[in-house]
C-alpha cells in the first residue's frame, strides 16, 4: 500500500507534460479610487492555478493552453468579480473590484486564519466539499480524507462519540475555534463533537492548520488547529430540507431557512436538526437534536452579528470497547477473561453470546450520556479606515448534563454510607445507579485590531476567558440504601479557570517575492480547583502559569506557480484537570512545550497542484500514561523529557480531463520517545515493576497515512467518487510491543451525487454513500493495561471495531 501511494504520486507528477503556451498578465484595482489592490486572490476556475497580486497590484498566470477560462478575483472587503477569458495569445487585462457596501464576515476570523502567504501547512475545506459527505455523520468523520488525519467512532458508524487525530496528536492537543471563539473544554482540553449534532450543516468553511500554526485563541495547539467558520452572508432568501436514511436505522432530518438581505442591511438564518441511530455496536444508540440561528446587521462601516446555537444529545454508552479475545473469537481466551475479571452470570453470558465485533459490556437500559450545550456569540466589527478595522466578540457557553451508570458491588464507603447490619450479617457493598454531573459556564471576549497596507499586515489581539465548572455525583438508587437519600450527593467539586492571552502578528512584504511573519503571544492561565495536599488531604489549590509562544515564518515566491516557505513556532500546553486534581504540589506534572519546524513547497498549475511539507515537532515534557502511581495512589500522566514527530506530507491534485479529478495525500512519519519507563502493578509481591525502553513509537501514531478521492463526472449534474483511506499499524501504548497494537487498515467508500434543477425548486440533490465497500474489518482506536498476577504478566487489550459495509442515502431540496 505504501508503494502504491508513493508510486501514484510520482506518476501523477511525471505524467504532467503540458508545456507553457500563453500568459495572462493583469492588475487588480479599486474601481472607484483606481488604487492597486495588494493580496487579491486571482484564480482560474476548473484549474488548480491561482495566485495573489503583488505590491503593485499585478498578477501573472503562465502556462495557459488555448481555450476559454473563467477568471475569479476576490479581495476582502470587495465584491468578487468573475470574468470569462478567451486565451489564444498573451494577454494583459485590468480587473476593477467594487467595494462592498457592507463589511465582510471574513474579518471576524482574519486574525486566526492562514492565507497563501502564511508559512504554515494548512488545508481549506469548503462548504461544498462538506455538503458532499454530510448525511448525518459527525464533523470529524467528514474531515477524514484531509492530510494526516485518522478518525474513530465509539459506536462504529460515525454518529455519537467520535474522535480525530492529526499527525498522531489526539483531540486534547488540537485547538478548535468557531468563528475565532475557543471550543475546547477548558479542563479536559478536548472537544466533544457529540454535543454539536449536524453542526456541519451550518459550516461555511473549515481550515485545518497542522502543527502549531497561527492560532491565537483557545488551548495550546500541539498537533493542529481546526478553525471553523459559520458566519456568512446569504444575499438571497432560501429554504432547504435535507433528509437521509441509512444502515443501523440511521435518520437525519435538517430544515434550514434564510431571509436573504433585507433592506440591504439585515439577514436572519436558521437551522433545525434531528439525528437518530441504533449504532453499529450493540445498544450504542444516539438521539441528537440541535438548532442554529444567526442574525446580522450590515452597515457601511460596521457589522453586528448574533449567533445562538445549541445541541442536545442522549447516547447509550459504548465506551468500554471489545476485549481482544472476544474480537478474535478466542473462546478459551474469553473464558479466561471471565474468570480473572470475576464476571457474574449475566455479564458472562453477554460476553459469550454477543457478536464478536458489536459486543457492548453495558446491559442496563439507561446506561446513557445526557448533555446539552448552548452557545451565544456576539460579534462587532468596525472599519476605522480602509486599512484599519477593529473586531470584538463576546461569547457564553452553558453546558449541563450527566451520564448514568449501573454499577455492581460498589463499596458503601465510596458514597459516604455506613455499613448495614441485618441480623448477624454486615453489608458493606451494594449495587447502585449513580449520575455524574457537570454543570459549567464558559464566557469571555476575543478581540483584534487589523492594519493592512501594500507592504504590511499587522494584527494585535487576544482573548480573556473564564470557565466555571461544577462537578458532582448523585446516588439515585441502591439495592441496600443504608443511610442514603434520593439523589444524595456523594461528592461536590467546583473549579474556576481564567485564560488571558495577547498577541501581535506582523507580516511584511520585504520584496515582491519575499514575505516574512512574526507572531508573538503571551498567555496566562490561572486555575483554582479541589485537589490533594502534601499530606494527601483534599484542599482547594491553584496554579498560575505564564507562557510565551513566538512564531516566525517566511514565504518566497519562486514564480507565478511555485513558492517555498519555512516556519518555526513554540507552543505550551498546561496539564489537564485530572493531572492537577489527582496529584499533590510535589507530584504535579509540568506544562508541555513544543518546538515546531516546517519547510514546504507548493506548485499550482492548470491541471496539477502539488504540496510537499517537511515537519519536525520536538516535545519537551510531553505528558503520557506510564502506569506509574503517584504519591496519593493515582494513575496519572508523566512528563517525558524528550520525544518528537518528524515526517513529510505530500498532497497532489490532478485534473486528468474534463471528467476525472484526483486528489490524494500521503504522510510518512516517525514518532518517537527517546526513553520510556513503564510501570506495572505487581499483585503477587505488591508495588510496581519498572521496565525501560528506548526509541519507542508514540502511541496511536501511524507511520503512514494516505487518503485519496477520485471523482468522475460522466454528466455535468452527476458525480461518482471512490474515496480511499490507508492507515498503517499503531501501538496502544508507548512500548512498541507488537502484542499491543492496532493493525493497519485500508477502506474504500463509494459516493454518488445527482443534482437536478426542476421548475418547482432551485436544486434537487440525491446522494448515496456506501462506506467500506470491501467490508474491511478494522479498529482505529483502543486501549490497554497490564499487571502481574500468578507469576505472569496479564495484558488486557480493548478495541473499538468500526462498521463493515454500510450505506447512507440522502435527498436534499433547496427552494
Strands 22-30 and 58-64: antiparallel
> How far is the CA of 102 from the CAs of 36, 98, 263, 293, 767, in angstroms?
20, 11, 12, 21, 36
- Residue 71, strand partner residues: 44, 83
Tens-place pLDDT, residues 470-514: 999 999 999 998 888 888 898 888 999 999 999 999 999 999 899
Instruction: Give the pLDDT score at 6.
Output: 47
Compute the average pLDDT of residues 402-427: 90
Instruction: Give the pLDDT score at 101.
Output: 61
Instruction: Give the pLDDT score at 14.
Output: 47
Tens-place pLDDT, residues 186-217: 999 999 999 999 999 999 999 999 999 886 66
Tens-place pLDDT, residues 16-29: 444 447 888 889 98
Q: Where residue 308 falls among pLDDT bands split at 50, 70, 90?
A: very high
Instruction: Give the pLDDT score at 105.
Output: 63
Tell me what percent of the residues of the chain surpass a pLDDT of 70.
Answer: 95
Sheet holding 50-52: strands in order across?
50-52, 41-44, 67-74, 81-87
| 136, three cell numbers | 448525518
Residue 12 has pLDDT above 60, yes or no: no
Instruction: Give the pLDDT score at 107.
Output: 61
List CB contacts of 687: < 8 A, sequence separation 6 or more: none
- Write phi, then psi, for 193 (nearest 5 degrees): -65, -25
List CB contacts of 360: < 8 A, sequence separation 6 or more: 281, 282, 283, 284, 318, 320, 354
Which tops the pLDDT comparison, 34 or 157? 157
Amino acid at each position: 500500500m505504501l508503494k502504491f501511494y508513493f508510486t501514484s504520486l510520482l506518476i501523477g507528477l511525471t505524467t504532467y507534460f503540458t508545456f507553457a503556451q500563453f500568459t495572462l498578465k493583469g492588475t487588480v484595482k479599486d474601481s472607484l479610487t483606481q488604487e492597486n489592490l495588494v493580496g487579491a486572490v486571482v484564480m482560474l476556475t476548473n484549474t488548480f492555478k491561482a495566485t495573489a497580486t503583488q505590491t503593485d497590484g499585478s498578477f501573472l498566470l503562465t502556462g495557459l493552453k488555448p481555450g476559454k477560462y473563467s477568471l475569479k478575483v476576490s479581495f476582502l472587503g470587495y465584491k468578487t468579480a468573475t470574468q470569462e477569458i478567451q486565451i489564444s495569445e498573451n494577454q494583459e487585462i485590468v480587473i476593477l473590484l467594487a467595494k462592498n457596501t457592507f463589511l465582510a464576515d471574513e474579518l471576524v476570523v482574519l486574525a486566526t486564519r492562514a492565507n497563501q502567504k502564511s508559512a504554515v501547512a494548512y488545508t481549506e475545506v469548503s462548504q461544498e466539499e462538506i455538503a458532499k459527505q454530510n448525511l448525518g455523520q459527525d464533523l470529524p468523520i467528514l474531515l477524514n480524507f484531509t492530510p494526516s488525519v485518522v478518525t474513530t467512532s465509539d459506536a462504529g458508524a460515525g454518529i455519537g462519540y467520535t474522535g480525530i487525530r492529526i499527525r498522531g496528536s489526539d483531540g486534547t492537543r488540537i485547538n478548535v475555534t468557531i468563528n475565532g471563539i475557543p471550543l475546547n473544554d477548558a479542563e479536559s482540553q478536548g472537544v466533544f463533537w457529540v454535543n454539536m449534532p449536524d453542526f456541519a450543516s451550518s459550516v461555511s468553511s473549515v481550515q485545518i492548520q497542522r502543527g502549531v500554526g497561527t492560532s491565537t485563541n483557545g488551548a495550546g495547539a500541539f498537533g493542529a488547529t481546526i478553525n471553523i467558520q459559520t458566519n456568512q452572508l446569504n444575499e438571497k432568501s432560501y429554504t432547504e430540507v435535507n433528509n437521509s436514511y441509512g444502515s443501523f436505522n440511521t435518520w437525519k432530518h435538517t430544515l434550514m431557512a434564510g431571509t436573504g438581505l433585507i433592506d440591504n442591511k439585515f439577514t436572519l438564518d436558521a437551522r433545525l436538526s434531528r439525528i437518530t441511530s441504533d449504532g453499529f455496536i450493540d445498544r450504542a444508540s444516539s438521539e441528537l437534536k440541535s438548532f442554529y440561528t444567526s442574525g446580522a446587521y450590515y452597515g457601511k462601516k460596521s457589522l453586528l452579528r448574533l449567533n445562538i446555537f445549541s445541541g442536545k444529545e442522549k447516547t447509550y454508552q459504548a465506551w468500554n470497547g471489545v476485549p481482544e479475545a472476544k474480537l478474535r473469537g478466542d473462546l478459551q481466551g474469553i473464558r479466561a477473561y471471565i474468570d480473572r475479571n470475576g464476571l457474574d452470570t449475566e455479564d458472562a453470558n453477554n460476553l459469550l453470546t454477543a457478536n464478536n465485533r458489536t459486543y457492548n459490556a453495558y446491559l442496563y437500559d439507561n446506561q446513557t450520556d445526557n448533555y446539552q450545550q448552548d452557545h451565544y456569540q456576539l460579534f462587532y466589527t468596525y472599519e476605522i479606515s480602509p486599512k484599519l478595522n477593529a473586531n470584538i466578540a463576546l461569547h457564553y457557553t452553558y453546558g449541563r448534563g450527566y451520564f448514568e451508570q449501573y454499577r455492581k458491588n460498589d463499596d458503601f464507603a465510596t458514597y459516604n454510607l455506613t455499613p448495614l447490619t441485618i441480623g448477624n450479617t454486615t453489608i458493606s457493598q451494594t449495587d447502585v445507579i449513580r449520575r455524574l454531573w457537570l454543570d459549567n459556564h464558559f464566557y469571555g471576549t476575543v478581540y483584534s485590531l487589523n492594519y493592512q497596507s501594500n507592504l504590511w499586515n499587522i494584527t494585535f489581539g487576544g482573548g480573556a476567558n473564564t470557565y466555571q465548572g461544577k462537578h458532582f455525583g448523585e446516588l439515585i438508587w441502591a439495592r441496600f440504601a443504608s443511610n442514603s437519600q434520593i439523589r444524595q450527593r456523594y461528592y461536590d467539586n467546583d473549579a474556576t479557570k481564567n485564560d488571558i492571552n495577547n498577541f501581535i502578528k506582523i507580516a511584511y512584504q520585504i520584496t515582491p517575492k519575499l514575505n516574512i511573519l512574526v507572531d508573538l503571544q503571551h498567555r496566562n492561565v490561572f486555575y483554582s480547583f479541589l485537589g490533594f495536599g502534601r499530606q494527601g488531604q483534599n484542599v482547594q489549590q491553584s496554579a498560575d502559569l505564564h507562557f510565551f509562544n513566538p512564531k516566525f515564518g517566511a514565504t518566497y515566491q519562486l514564480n507565478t506557480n511555485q513558492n517555498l516557505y519555512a516556519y518555526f513556532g513554540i507552543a505550551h500546553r498546561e496539564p489537564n484537570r485530572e493531572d492537577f486534581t489527582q496529584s499533590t504540589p510535589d507530584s504535579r506534572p509540568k506544562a508541555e512545550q513544543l518546538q515546531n519546524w516546517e519547510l514546504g513547497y507548493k506548485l499550482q498549475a492548470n491541471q496539477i497542484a502539488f504540496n510537499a511539507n517537511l515537519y519536525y515537532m520536538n516535545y519537551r515534557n510531553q505528558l503520557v500514561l506510564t502506569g506509574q502511581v503517584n504519591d496519593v495512589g493515582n494513575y496519572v500522566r508523566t512528563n517525558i523529557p524528550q520525544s518528537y514527530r518528524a515526517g513529510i506530507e505530500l498532497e497532489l491534485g490532478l485534473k486528468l480531463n474534463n471528467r476525472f479529478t484526483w486528489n490524494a495525500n500521503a504522510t510518512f512519519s516517525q514518532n518517537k520517545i527517546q526513553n520510556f519507563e513503564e510501570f506495572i502493578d505487581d499483585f503477587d509481591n505488591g508495588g510496581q515493576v519498572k521496565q525501560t525502553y528506548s526509541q519507542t513509537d508514540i502511541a496511536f501514531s501511524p507511520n503512514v497515512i494516505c487518503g485519496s478521492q477520485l471523482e468522475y463526472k460522466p454528466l455535468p449534474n452527476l458525480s461518482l467518487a471512490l474515496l480511499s483511506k490507508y492507515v498503517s499499524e499503531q501501538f496502544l501504548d508507548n512500548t512498541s510491543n507488537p502484542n499491543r497494537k492496532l493493525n493497519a487498515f485500508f477502506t474504500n467508500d463509494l459516493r454518488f451525487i445527482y443534482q437536478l434543477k426542476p421548475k418547482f425548486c432551485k436544486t434537487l440533490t440525491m446522494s448515496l454513500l456506501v462506506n467500506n465497500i470491501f467490508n474491511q474489518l478494522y479498529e482505529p482506536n483502543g486501549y490497554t493495561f497490564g499487571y502481574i498476577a500468578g507469576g505472569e504478566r496479564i495484558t488486557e487489550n480493548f478495541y473499538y471495531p468500526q462498521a463493515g459495509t454500510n450505506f447512507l442515502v440522502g435527498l436534499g431540496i433547496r427552494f
